Homo-oligomer: A and B are copies of this chain.
Amino acid sequence: MINVTIWHEFRHEKINESVAELYPKGIHGRVKEFLESDDVKVTLASLDEPNQGISDELLESTDVLMWWGHIAHKEVSDELVSKIRDRVYSGMGFIAMHSAHHSKPFKTIVGTTGDLTWGRNQRAIVWNLCPTHPIAEGIPAHFELFEELYAEPFFIPKPDDLVFGTWYEDGNIFRGGATFTRGLGKIFYFHPGHETCTSFDNEYVQRILKNAVKWCSPIKVEDGFVINGCVKQIEEVFKK
């Protein structure tokens, strides 16, 4: 059983009627619908809840944290961001969806400004650049979306694997599906999911996120990997 927490800023739905109509249960609620299964248990969390939705207990029991934020990145507390980063470095998976490229956790975890070029919603074609990657399982060479333009230059670190690349009508391309490893944690960024688009209804977007949850799940830590242990050891020595 994989414990997934889907964190959603959950603001657009409250201030924009058309978004509320598209996502009556919120974007996190929509993702939960296709993600939950016998093997995946989903907890929903959002910014305006106590602890900004993520208590220490929830964080500790989460295997994969999925993140969607857009207009309220700055409201997320630095303390929570540090806790999330430390938990990822200890093995928790992290999936940054769409505008989470600019979220504090993603930027802090992988080390990036998250800056990119953006533009109007338009025809987009996602190309499968790494068919041997577990996240690409079941995905054809290409599939089509109608999405907000997120494009190069994208100032991410060189990805471990560039799984998907996206073509846009306006002449742009985007390294929009990329994996990273930080500490013992596996991270996946995937660009579809604008609040005024319906990409989460696309069967391939759903399949990719399902695959990503599986791929991001924490490994069992074996002997000799003392997580956050060296720091303590060194500090103790110098304290003497």
Contacts and interface: CB of A to CB of B under 8 A. Distances in A.
Interface of A: 71, 86, 89, 102, 108-118, 125, 127-132, 137-142, 152-153, 155, 157-158, 160-162, 165-168, 171-173, 175, 180-184, 186, 219-231, 233-234, 238
- The secondary structure that dominates the A interface is loop
A160 to B, nearest CB: 6
A44 B152 CA distance: 37
Contact of A173 (B86, B110, B167): B167
B152 A165 contact: yes
27 contacts: A89-B113, A89-B155, A110-B111, A110-B157, A111-B111, A113-B231, A114-B231, A116-B230, A128-B222, A128-B224, A128-B225, A131-B184, A131-B219, A132-B219, A137-B219, A137-B220, A138-B220, A139-B222, A140-B222, A140-B225, A141-B153, A141-B222, A153-B225, A157-B182, A162-B162, A165-B173, A167-B167
Nearest to A137: B219
Given A111-B111, A131-B225, 16 more contacts: A112-B183, A114-B231, A115-B229, A115-B231, A131-B219, A131-B221, A132-B186, A132-B219, A139-B222, A141-B224, A152-B165, A153-B226, A157-B180, A158-B160, A165-B175, A167-B173
Contact of A117 (B111, B130, B222, B230): B230
Contacts of A112: 89, 182-183
A127 B176 CA distance: 14
A129 B152 contact: yes
Contacts of A141: 152-153, 222-225
A228 B113 contact: yes
Contacts of A230: 113, 115-118
B155 A158 contact: no
